[in-house]
Every structure is written in C-alpha cells, then in structure tokens.
C-alpha cells in the first residue's frame, strides 16, 4: 500500500511537471491573451523557482503550498488560454520535457524579495514592540515627574521666594 501511494505521488508529480512545461510553451504563443501571460509569470515562475514561498521543511505548510497553490494556479491558467493554443503547446512541451527546462532565476529573485520583505516587516514589528514597551516604562516615570512638577508650578516657586525675601526684610 505504501509503495502504491508513493508511485501515485510520483505519477502525479510527473503530470504536474508536464502541465507546467505545456503552460510555459503556451504563454509564449502570441495567441495567448495578455492577462494569461501576466498570471503565468506568477504560476510558472513559482513552479520553476528553486525557492519555495513556504519552504518544504516546514511541517504540513511546506507541502501544502505545492499541493494547493500550484494546482489551483495551473487550473486557472489553463482556463485563460485558448484550447487550440494548449493543444499546440502540449506537443511542443513533450519535446522540451526530453531536453529539460531551465529554472527561472527571475522567479527565484521575486520569491527572495518576498522573503526579504517578510523578514524586514517582522524585524520592524519586533523593534516597534520593544520600543513601545520601553517608552511606556520611561513614559510612566516621566509622566510621574511631570505630574509632581505640576503640583508646584514655576510661578509658585517665584512667589514663594519673593514672600520669603519680604519676610526677611521685615525681620531686619
């Protein structure tokens, strides 16, 4: 049973790879609509990228992106491309499957930029959280000292010193 499920997964992965090759060829066809080409940059770029948006070593989530995102993207892209373009592309992709398709370096750069943005946002958020906690602690102390100083306004100090000076002059 275990061998059968592994063989099924291998067959499914081979079919998925074949679909990606076919879509790669189809999007280069001039009969493919522009919106399908733009969407194909995301789908095919992600499929051919050596870097996953969610790395495979993360339990469950790492495999879910390959099992959910990629098939959904492929299905949507297939609906956007005319059937005659898909038929022609399928024939051409069989030839490409034998020679191999290069990895998309542009897509790898996009995925790396997304990760860099996520990491930058996380660092910024943590720094803001730490700064707000620090400012709350110092803010409480500063507000306490401000509150204490508000009880005795600077004018009170001046008037108190004048009264004490008057008292001294009367004593003389």
Residue 122 has pLDDT above 70, yes or no: yes
Domain count within the chain: 2
The residues, ordered by sequence, that sit 6+ positions from 106 with a Cβ below 8 Å of its Cβ are 45
Report how far residue 33's alpha carbon sits from residue 44's, in angstroms, rounded to the nearest whole number.
Answer: 16
73 plus 34 within the same structural domain: yes
Residue 37 has pLDDT above 80, yes or no: yes
The residues, ordered by sequence, that sit 6+ positions from 35 with a Cβ below 8 Å of its Cβ are 80
Confidence grade of residue 32 (pLDDT, cut at 50, 70, 90): very high
Percent of the chain with pLDDT over 90: 18
pLDDT at 18: 81
110 plus 93 within the same structural domain: no
Q: Which residue range forms the structural domain that includes residue 158?
A: 106-172
78 plus 40 within the same structural domain: yes
**Taking the chain, what is the end-to-end CA distance rounded to the nearest angstrom?**
112
Confidence grade of residue 157 (pLDDT, cut at 50, 70, 90): low
Q: Greater confidence, 53 or 17?
A: 17
Q: What is the rounded average pLDDT of the residues 101-108?
A: 63
74 plus 132 within the same structural domain: no
Confidence grade of residue 33 (pLDDT, cut at 50, 70, 90): very high
């Amino acid at each position: 049973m275990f061998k059968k499920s592994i063989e099924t997964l291998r067959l499914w992965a081979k079919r998925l790879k074949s679909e990606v090759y076919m879509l790669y060829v189809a999007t280069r066809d001039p009969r493919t609509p522009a919106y399908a080409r733009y969407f194909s940059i995301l789908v095919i770029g992600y499929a051919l990228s050596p870097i996953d948006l969610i790395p495979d070593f993360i339990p469950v989530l790492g495999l879910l992106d390959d099992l959910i995102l990629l098939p959904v993207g492929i299905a949507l892209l297939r609906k956007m491309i005319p059937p005659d373009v898909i038929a022609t592309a399928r024939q051409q992709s069989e030839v490409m499957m034998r020679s191999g398709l290069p990895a998309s370096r542009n897509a790898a750069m996009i995925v790396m930029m997304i990760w860099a943005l996520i990491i930058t946002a996380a660092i910024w958020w943590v720094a803001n959280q730490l700064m707000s906690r620090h400012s709350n602690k110092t803010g409480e102390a500063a507000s306490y000292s401000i509150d204490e100083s508000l009880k005795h306004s600077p004018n009170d100090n001046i008037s108190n010193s004048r009264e004490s000076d008057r008292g001294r002059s009367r004593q003389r």
